[in-house]
Amino acid sequence: MPLYISKQEERVINGSAPRLAFGGKNKFNHNYNTLEDNEELHFGKIKAKAVLTPGHTIGSMSFLIDDIYLFVGDNLSLQNGQVHLFNSLFNFSDDAQKESIKSLAKITSAEYIFTAHYGFTYKPKGAFKNFLLLKG
């Protein structure tokens, strides 16, 4: 099965850049393909759009599936149905993550948001509202 990462994340995967702002280099020995921001992949009838969302790592990506399902991984957390930053201790850059969350909020076709650790919501427009008001 192919593995896909952002072109920016390749530096983390090959060990030339730290995983976190305070250090911690990884070395990943597996074949992978790199993706550009907004590049689309097709798996049969399924369309996956790669969205560059740095912050958790330098090359974090989110994926919009069939223009409806937004998988954000560790790029944000959901608390009581509201969007928040992921845990700062584990982020490469909170400032970059804030900008990425603002760009994710502009994906108006998404009907669901799925996170890696903080559940999901089927009300994405309302979930971003407080974050955008608080963060500007």
| Residue 63 pLDDT greater than 80, yes or no | yes
CATH number reported for the structural domain that contains residue 107 in this entry:
3.60.15.10
Structural domain boundaries, residue 48 = 36-135
pLDDT at residue number 128:
92
pTM for the model stands at 0.87
Q: Find the length of the chain.
A: 136
pLDDT 10s digits, 9-62: 888 887 777 666 555 556 667 788 999 999 999 999 999 999 999 999 999 999
Kindly state whether residue 82 falls inside one of the protein's structural domains: yes
* Cβ atoms 55, 100 nearer than 8 A: yes
Distance CA 65, CA 121 (A): 15
Question: Treating both helix axes as pointing N-terminal to C-terminal, what angle do 94-105 and 124-135 enclose, rounded to 10 degrees?
Answer: 130
The angle subtended at Cα 133 by Cα 130 and Cα 134, nearest 5°, is 85
Give, as one character, the DSSP assignment of residue 111.
-
The number of folded domains in the chain is 1
